Amino acid sequence: MSPLSSLLRRSAPSDAEASQIASARTDPSAESPSAGSPPAEAPPRGGLVEIRGVHKSFGELEVLRGIDLTIAPGEVTAVLGPSGSGKSTLLRAINHLEPVSSGLISVDGEVIGYRRIGDRLHELREPEVLRQRTAIGMVFQSFNLFAHMTALENITEAPRRALGAPRREAEAHARELLALVGLSEKADAYPRQLSGGQQQRVAIARALALRPKVLLFDEPTSALDPELVEEVLAVIRSLARAGTTLVIVTHEISFARDVADTVVFMDQGRIVEQGPPAKVIDAPAHERTRTFLQRVRTGAAPASEDPAGSADPAADPAPGARTPPPTTPRTTPEDRS
């Protein structure tokens, strides 16, 4: 087993214990199994994410209009789409940061945010939602590191406060995670003393500290300078084969093609098409997907290569621009949908 896999392993279930733990996870009173359990040789287990008929409205505006999606355990899913297509909202719905208006989302069969009794969905109280979230890590576009804490404190905060892990243990794990993202020497640095790329890598380590079954990335490189993007993508790439389920909202088309098992293209609150990258990115079936991909590619190429060159993608839909740009294809700097 790779050292990475053992680092990310959520719990230490022997086969006999596995079912016990699975049932314990649905019991709110049970301690999270990851706290204090000794290391074992079981491979890390990704969570199964199921999304059924999810709608979400903000007032009049319906941002999600019936999303159905199944993400297999350990699979890497890239969600593409224009600004306002609802992809960030979908991601935030998975860990209940954004409660859905209707529909169901579950991780490993456990409904997120609600307890289903018969035909009724009883809203969970906050401590139970928080417990569910410890199994679902999230990395934000704007990093959101705790500004008054060092990198190490940022990483140990959640294990210590949410899972009650002892300080010594949390710090040891945090140092391993910092090494994993290549920032061992930055343990005592404050976020403001780090570059954007370094901050995002700390944020990834922070999300990993809870040994989540599912990791959500909300445009992890959109707030970064082009030359810092690759260091973050490299870290995500290294996680992709470690067994955790990854859901990545991104504008990095070439990265998505590289790393994703499934690419989902969203537009106006619906999934337009989904499938392996070879299909969705290289041979999209829908016109909407084609225009989006083309716009992202032609729009990004001049921005990263030649600042003086003609930068009007609408005026120049060059067929030669099929080759993906080496760095950041970005449409808009922000996509808060």
Which of these ranges, 19-27, 136-144, 258-266, 269-277, lies near other proteins under the rule CB under 8 A?
136-144
Among 1, 61, 130, 283, binds other proteins (CB under 8 A): 130
124 is an interface residue for other proteins by CB under 8 A: no
Q: Nearest distance from residue 148's CB to other proteins, in Å?
A: 5
307 is an interface residue for other proteins by CB under 8 A: no
Q: Nearest distance from residue 41's CB to other proteins, in Å?
A: 27
Which of these ranges, 108-116, 140-148, 284-292, 324-332, lies near other proteins under the rule CB under 8 A?
140-148
Residue 246 φ then ψ, to 5°: -115, 135
Radius of gyration of the chain (CA): 20
Q: Locate tokens 């537009």: which residue? A: 267
List C-alpha distances in Å: 77 to 97, 208, 215, 286, 315. Answer: 20, 18, 10, 19, 33
Q: Which of 223, 289, 302 is nearest to 256 (CA)?
A: 289
Q: Nearest distance from residue 103's CB to other proteins, in Å?
A: 20
Q: What share of the chain is helix, strand, coil (3-state, %, to 5)?
A: 40, 20, 40
Among 148, 167, 286, 322, binds other proteins (CB under 8 A): 148
Among 38, 39, 118, 127, binds other proteins (CB under 8 A): 127
Q: Nearest distance from residue 246's CB to other proteins, in Å?
A: 16
Q: Are 87 and 337 within 8 A, CB to CB?
A: yes
173 is an interface residue for other proteins by CB under 8 A: no
Among 49, 90, 145, 215, binds other proteins (CB under 8 A): 145
How many residues line the site for other proteins (CB under 8 A)? 33
Site string for other proteins, 185-224 (x = CB under 8 A): -----xxxx------------xx--x--------------
Among 150, 198, 274, 298, binds other proteins (CB under 8 A): 150
Facing residues of 121 across strands?
A: 116
Q: Quick one: 186 or 288, whose CB is closer to other proteins?
A: 186
- Sign for the CA dihedral angle at 93, 97, 103, 107 comes to positive
Facing residues of 138 across strands?
A: 216
- Sign for the CA dihedral angle at 250, 251, 255, 260 comes to positive
Which of the 8 DSSP states describes residue 199? H
Q: Are 29 and 158 within 8 A, CB to CB?
A: no
- Sign for the CA dihedral angle at 232, 325, 88, 279 comes to negative
Q: Which of 120, 61, 123 is nearest to 89 (CA)?
A: 61
Q: Quick one: 140 or 292, whose CB is closer to other proteins?
A: 140
Q: Nearest distance from residue 21's CB to other proteins, in Å?
A: 18
88 is an interface residue for other proteins by CB under 8 A: no
Among 5, 6, 83, 144, binds other proteins (CB under 8 A): 144
Rounded CA separation 81/97 (Å): 21
Q: Quick one: 153 or 267, whose CB is closer to other proteins?
A: 153
Q: Are 254 and 260 within 8 A, CB to CB?
A: no
Q: Which residue ranges make up the site for other proteins (CB under 8 A)?
A: 95, 97, 126-127, 130-134, 136-138, 140, 142, 144-150, 157-158, 161-163, 190-193, 206-207, 210
